């Protein structure tokens, strides 16, 4: 297992280099550059634009720009300087990545803690009124886009003056709060983004759980367990549910990638200061180094999520070996 984890971690290096190459040269295909927006202003002198181009390395050919950036990133851990914020990319990403990690983990926790019991209930009580109600709600959760659900929730909060914040990760008076008040304040600001981001995931996972458990309940080993006189609770939770969870653990790794990509739009609509919002603003302003750094962090998080899912799968099923 240790060798497998080490090998998977080493795979991250060429993957990150590939992400940096693709993102940089795709952005080079777009016409213009970050400085073009300033060329239209008569108040900015050409000498100032030339100085800015030299400062950010934009006066060099694209291939030279990329290899200079790659050398600094590999040997010095320097991912460049943001054009828009005039600050180190690592500082900007570090401040936002934590918010995105907290949001995605909270949304996953919210979705899975609710989806698994709903899926089990629906499978055990198939075609009951409760099963039909959860199926109806799941289809609604799957069909509503995240941004539309966010707009609905924000509309309800504003119109009916519900006690939920409509933007940001903390309150204005956050710096003067005690640690318990800060924790409560952060959780309070997470409610709307987590509900928006976790609803579709919860609906999908509950349907997967229902289908997997129904399939397991018709297997021979379940009939054998019942014929031995085991209680229905032991048959379901000790045998059927455990086998039904294996494909869902694999799904967990892929879900991290989906939820990270969905977080970008959710953060933008709910005004949550995360990595996705930073990437979108960087793409719009053609801030190359900030886009590349953000995408590399997102890619690394995705690989680590899949690695965690593989390790959990091996722990849940002793038949799986990665040696």
Q: How confident is the model at residue 309 (pLDDT cuts 50, 70, 90)?
A: confident
Q: Does residue 286 have a pLDDT over 80?
A: no
Q: What is the mean pLDDT of residues 163-190?
A: 86
pLDDT at position 134 is 92
pLDDT at position 262 is 65
Quick: pLDDT tens for 31-70: 777 777 777 777 777 778 788 777 777 778 888 888 888 8
Quick: pLDDT tens for 64-120: 888 888 888 888 878 888 877 878 888 888 878 888 888 888 888 898 899 999 999
How many H helices and E strands in the chain? 13, 0
pLDDT at position 255 is 66
pLDDT at position 323 is 60
- 10 Å Cβ neighbour count for 260? 23
- The DSSP annotation for 7-60 comes to HHHHHHHHHHHHHHHHHHHHHHHSSS-TTHHHHT-TTS-HHHHHHHHHHHTTTS
- Tell me the C-alpha distance between 294 and 298, whole Å: 6
Q: What is the mean pLDDT of residues 135-155?
A: 89
- Tell me the C-alpha distance between 185 and 279, whole Å: 25
Domains in the chain with CATH codes = 98-271 (1.10.3720.10)
Q: Does residue 5 have a pLDDT over 80?
A: no
Q: What is the mean pLDDT of residues 255-283?
A: 75
CA angle, 257 then 259 then 261, to 5°: 70
% of the chain residues with pLDDT over 90: 10
Mean pLDDT of the chain: 82
Q: Does residue 261 have a pLDDT over 70?
A: no
For residue 112, give the 3-state DSSP assignment: helix
């Amino acid at each position: 297992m240790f060798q497998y984890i080490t090998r998977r971690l080493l795979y991250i290096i060429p993957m990150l280099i590939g992400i940096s190459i693709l993102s940089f040269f795709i952005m080079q295909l777009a016409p213009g550059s970050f400085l073009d927006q300033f060329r239209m202003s008569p108040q900015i002198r050409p000498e100032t634009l030339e100085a800015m181009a030299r400062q950010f390395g934009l006066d060099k050919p694209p291939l030279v720009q990329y290899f200079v950036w790659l050398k600094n990133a590999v040997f010095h851990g320097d991912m460049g300087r943001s054009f828009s914020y005039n600050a180190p990319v690592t500082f900007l990403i570090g401040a936002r990545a934590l918010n995105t990690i907290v949001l995605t983990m909270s949304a996953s926790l919210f979705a899975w803690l609710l989806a698994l019991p709903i899926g089990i209930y629906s499978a055990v009580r198939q075609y009951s009124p409760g099963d039909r109600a959860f199926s109806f709600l799941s289809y609604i959760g799957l069909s509503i886009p995240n941004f539309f659900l966010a707009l609905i929730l924000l509309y309800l909060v504003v119109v009916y003056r519900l006690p939920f914040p409509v933007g940001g990760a903390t309150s204005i008076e956050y710096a003067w709060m005690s640690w318990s008040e800060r924790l409560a304040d952060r959780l309070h600001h997470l409610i709307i983004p987590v509900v928006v981001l976790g609803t579709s995931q919860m609906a999908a996972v509950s349907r997967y759980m229902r289908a997997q458990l129904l399939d397991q309940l018709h297997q021979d080993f379940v009939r054998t367990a019942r014929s031995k006189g085991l209680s229905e609770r032991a048959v379901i939770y000790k045998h059927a549910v455990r086998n039904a969870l294996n494909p869902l653990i694999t799904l967990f790794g892929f879900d991290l990638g989906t939820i990270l990509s969905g977080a970008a739009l959710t953060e933008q609509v709910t005004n949550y200061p995360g990595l996705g919002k930073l990437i979108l603003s960087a793409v719009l302003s053609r801030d190359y180094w900030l886009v590349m750094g953000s995408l590399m962090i997102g890619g690394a998080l995705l690989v680590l999520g899949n690695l965690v899912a593989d390790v959990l799968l091996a722990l849940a099923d002793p038949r799986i070996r990665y040696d």
